A = this chain, B = another copy of it.
Amino acid sequence: MILNFGMCFMKAYKTKVSHNENMKKLQAGYLFPEIARRRTAHMLKYPDAQVISLGIGDTTEPIPEVITSSMAKRSYALSTVEGYSGYGAEQGEKQLRAAIAKTYYENLGIEEDDVFVSDGAKSDISRLQVLFGSKVTMAVQDPSYPAYVDSSVILGQTGQFQKDVEKYGNIEYMKCTPENGFFPDLSATCRTDIIFFCSPNNPTGYAASREQLTRLVEFAKENGSIIVYDSAYAMYVSDDSPRSIFEIPGAKEVAIEVSSFSKYAGFTGVRLGWTAIPKELLYSDGFPVAKDFNRIVCTCFNGASNIAQAGGLACVSPEGIKAMHEVVGFYKENSDIIVETFNSLGFKVYGGKNAPYVWIHFPGQSSWDVFSEILEKTHVVTTPGSGFGPGGEGFIRVSAFGHRENVLEACRRFKQLYK
């Protein structure tokens, strides 16, 4: 037997395919896997600690039975000749599209065929980016849900990351802070093709008012921009803030709405959402945006799971809506507990009222330092505000998704730490 000593000196084979320059621009890991990594490291360090996660906005409460029984029924039916179905419409099942239009957009002029059912808002945000392509410019609230910026980077819409300002080139960061009531100063905002706007906002928990959204729609209309409105937390609104951008007159000509059952019914793992694109929304050449999105959905997607869609239909039944309100109500009570805790400790506390997120100010401190201190001293996982953009520096997001006893225990520990 001849040993091939040459092997030892061989370098690894490399293809000649260039590493995508856009992927190389991305900084570190995507925020939430990074937090999961730190959480795991912490648990290894303190194997006996009772770690409580109020970090990633992940639902914890069981899905109401009226919904899971529909999914189980659909599962079983797939084993029968009469109940089996193969490929569904890429855009979603007709009945579900109609039910979503009726439930969330009645009298707002959004119809069944304007609704595209998806496997969740995150997937649809990327599909929208593929739709728009690399040549568009975009604006985001700062801070905002990181998938907007990261998907924009991946698609090649941005410049390099600029370490000094913690921003990517060629993105308009619209600062949203307590000083401006968490609504951007539009007079100082550059025109972009696309404006990502999330309300109630993740991470600040702030819901834009009707008057603010009216200004946003006017701004988009003047500039010929398209608003991608993320309403994933709309059911958490307690006051008279709009639940949909389409409540604003004229929005149908400038807006797309992305939404999800994740935070309403505990569907974070089941995966079901939707995107509404009005027929009135046109590119500069007059071509309907929805028509191109339909092509994207047919080519790059094959519809959401039929079992999840059966669950979606149960969600928007009268019993399902009632059950979802109970789930949402439970998390809103958690928000109240967290808000009261930090208020009692003398912090400036934002959000919570219209959203499952509480946004707490630690002036002059680094978010990651605060995150680390809280984790180290209380074994509670939060989310550092700066993970959502430079405008989030000095803040911590505490998620209201958690079992009641965990939220109460976390709040006891916060009181211990900051007393």
Chain A: residues with CB nearer than 8 A to chain B? Answer: 12-23, 26, 29-30, 32-33, 56, 58-65, 67-69, 71-73, 75-76, 78-81, 83-88, 90, 119-120, 122-123, 125-126, 130-136, 147, 150-151, 154-156, 193-194, 221, 223-226, 253-254, 266, 268-271, 280-287, 292, 295-296, 298-308, 311, 401
Contacts and interface: CB of A to CB of B under 8 A. Distances in A.
A193 B20 CA distance: 12
Total copies of this chain within the assembly: 2
A69 to B, nearest CB: 7
A283 B78 contact: no
Given A156-B134, A224-B14, A305-B307, A60 B84 contact: yes
Given A19-B287, A284-B15, A68 B62 contact: no
Given A12-B286, A136-B17, A283-B18, A299 B75 contact: no
Q: DSSP class of A's interface residues: helix, strand, loop or mixed?
A: loop
Given A14-B284, A295-B26, A299-B154, A133 B86 contact: no
Nearest to A279: B12
A279 to B, nearest CB: 10
A61 B76 contact: no
Given A23-B292, A63-B84, A269-B87, A136 B18 contact: yes
Contacts of A71: 71-72, 75, 78, 307
A133 B303 CA distance: 24
Contact of A280 (B12, B87, B194): B12
A399 B309 CA distance: 27
Contact of A271 (B67, B281, B304): B304
B193 A271 contact: no
20 contacts: A13-B221, A13-B280, A13-B282, A14-B282, A14-B283, A17-B132, A17-B136, A18-B135, A23-B296, A29-B295, A30-B299, A60-B86, A62-B80, A64-B79, A72-B72, A72-B73, A78-B270, A123-B301, A270-B307, A307-B307
Contact of A86 (B33, B58, B83): B58
B63 A79 contact: yes
Contact of A147 (B67, B221, B299, B305): B299
A20 B131 contact: yes
Contact of A132 (B20, B26, B32): B20
A270 B303 CA distance: 9
Contact of A270 (B13, B63, B306): B306
A305 B270 contact: yes
A62 B86 CA distance: 9
A133 B292 contact: no
Nearest to A82: B62
A377 B79 CA distance: 34
Contacts of A64: 79
A305 B119 contact: yes
A225 B78 CA distance: 41
A307 B72 CA distance: 9
A282 B150 contact: no
Most buried by B among A19, A64, A223, A308: A19
Given A76-B68, A154-B296, A155-B130, A224 B56 contact: no
> 4 closest pairs, A vs B, by CB?
A16-B224, A126-B300, A19-B283, A20-B133
A360 to B, nearest CB: 23
Contact of A266 (B86, B120, B156, B298): B86
Most buried by B among A29, A280, A282, A299: A299
